[in-house]
Amino acid sequence: MQILYELEKVDVTGVRLFAPASIANISCGFDVLGLCLENIGDIMEIRRSNTAGIQITSIKGQDLPLEAEKNVAGVAGLALLAEYNPQLGFEIYIEKNIKPGSGIGSSAASAAGAVAGINYLLGSPFSTKELIPFAMEGERLACGSAHADNVAPALLGGFTLVRDTNPLDICALPTPLELVATVIHPKIEVKTADARAVLKTRVSLEKAISQWANVGALVSSLYEEDYELLSKSLVDGIVEPARSILIPYFNELKDACKKAGALGSGISGSGPSVFALSRGMTTANHVAQAMQAVLEKTEIPFDIHVSPVKQSGVSFLEDIT
C-alpha cells in the first residue's frame, strides 16, 4: 500500500480517546462474532515523541507492564510503526477502566486505542479495517493467538463477523436500534488458557450444523431487526457447555436473565463475565437487577454494566496541542 507521509497532522501533538469494551462470541459465534459496547472503556492519550518507538508513560487503574514489548498497546503500536515508519515515536498514557481478564475485551481496547490514536496523528494513512491486523498483534501478546473477534468491533463499532483470518476478512453487520447489553463480571479469574483447554477439538456433525444455523440466523436477525429470531439464535451447543463449569452460578445467572425478559445470554469472550441482550433499556435494567440478585447471595464480588451497542469504534475526544 502507498504510505502518504504528507498527511501527518503536524499541528497536533496528541489526542485523547475512548477505547471501548466489547463482547466476543455472542453465544453461537465462537471466535468470529463480536459487538462493541457504548459506555464501558478505557481513556487513552497518544502523544508524539522525539524518541523512536513506543513509550508507555503511565497506566492508571491497573498494574500492567510499562515496557512497550510487554504491553498490548505497545506491541500493537510498534506493529503499526514497523509498517509505516519505525523512526517515528509516540507516548501512550492509559486510564484502564476495563479490568484485564474480565472477558469484555480489555486487551483489545488498549490495542485498538493505540493504533487508532497513532493512525489519527499520522493523518489516517490506514483505513480502520487496515488497523485490525496491527491491533491483533496486541492480542497475540495477551493470549497467544492473533484473533480479531474483540479488536474488530472495538475499531469498527457495532457487530462484526470475522469471515477469515488468512487473509483477514471482516464483515461489518447492522445493529437493531433497540438492542441493549447487560454484562456482569464476577471478580474471579478465568485464564484464557484454561478456557481454551476445556474445549473439545472435535464436535459431532449434528452440533456443528446446529451452530452454523444459529450463526446464520443471528446474522439474518440483525439485518431484519428480528428480535424473536435473534433470541432463538443465541444458543451455543459447543463452547458454552464446556466453559460454563468455570463460572460459578452460571446456570442461575442464565435462568435469572430469561425470567427478567432477556432475549438471550451467554459467556462473554472466555469469561468470567456473563452477558445478556435485551430489547430496550428498561428490560436490560431489569436483567441487571436479576443478575445482581443472584450474585448478592454469594460471597463473589462483581461489577455490572448496562450498555447500548456502540455504533462506532474508538472515539476521539479531543486534540492535544
Q: Which residues are catalytic?
A: 139, 192
State the cell numbers at 237.
451447543
State the cell numbers at 130.
487496515
Phi and psi dihedrals of 126, rounded to 5?
A: -105, 140
Residues 226 and 180 sit within 8 Å (Cβ to Cβ): no
Amino acid residing at 82: A
CA distance 192 to 83: 29
Residues 309 and 36 sit within 8 Å (Cβ to Cβ): yes
Residue 239's SS3 state is: coil
CA distance 28 to 7: 42
The bridge status of strand 89-95 relative to strand 53-60 is parallel
Torsion of Cα atoms, 209 then 103 then 81 then 13, to 10°: 140
CA distance 242 to 223: 30
